Amino acid sequence: MHRLSIFILLAGLIFSGSCLAERSVENGDSTIASELVLVRDGRPTATIVVSDSPTDNARAAADELQKYIERISGAKLPIAGDAVPAAGCMVLVGKSKLTDEIRDLDIPSGRTKNLREEGFIIRTYGDRLVLAGNDAEPYLGTRYAVIEFLHRLGVRWYMPGEMGEIIPKMPTVALKPVNITQRPDFPMRDFWEHARGNMAEECAEWKIHNKM
């Protein structure tokens, strides 16, 4: 039993270390890793985690993150609920039990008639990356958080549909410590167009990809 416990401990340390390029250090109230690795040499080293009862935005955002990380690196990150924390690095998409555990994590929330509560955060915390925002209707905060993260990896959506996409290729997906909060300068960001076939659906997604 003693040897088995040691083996399990060592296995956990090896797995958790695979997603952190260097040892974590304490910085005030936050644990900051020098580099968080989501994919290494085409192999996943992180798990996408959503609430067991996610918002529609969080579910769509998690699926989109999984899709584009696979197109970038060839690695498909698994998606799990928050009932049992996954081993190793975690990408926390949307609010969940795990985001509630992080001190001073100010995820935009609420809605008033002035519609000024929209926004999202992108933040690393040790071996966790938080991509979350205000998902109160009509806001798309968590989707915008994922879109901004993908944009920082080099993904672009210049036109509606796959023809307008630019997807970089990289076998390793990693990021430095980051703490970003974004809120729009004005609540209405849209335009109207005439479309037929699947053009309306593609245009709607293109608007979201450009945070409209």
- Please tell me the distance from the alpha carbon of residue 161 to that of residue 168, in angstroms, as a whole number: 17
Q: Note if the pTM is more than 0.75.
A: yes
SS3 percent helix, strand, coil of the chain, rounded to 5, is: 30, 25, 45
- The region of weakest confidence among 29-33, 77-81, 163-167, 191-195 is 29-33
CB 47, CB 88: distance < 8 Å = yes
pLDDT at residue 24 above 50?
no
Q: What are the tens digits of pLDDT across the range 98-109?
A: 999 998 899 999
Return the pLDDT at 128.
95
Residue 191 Cα distances to 114, 116, 206, 207, angstroms: 20, 20, 12, 9
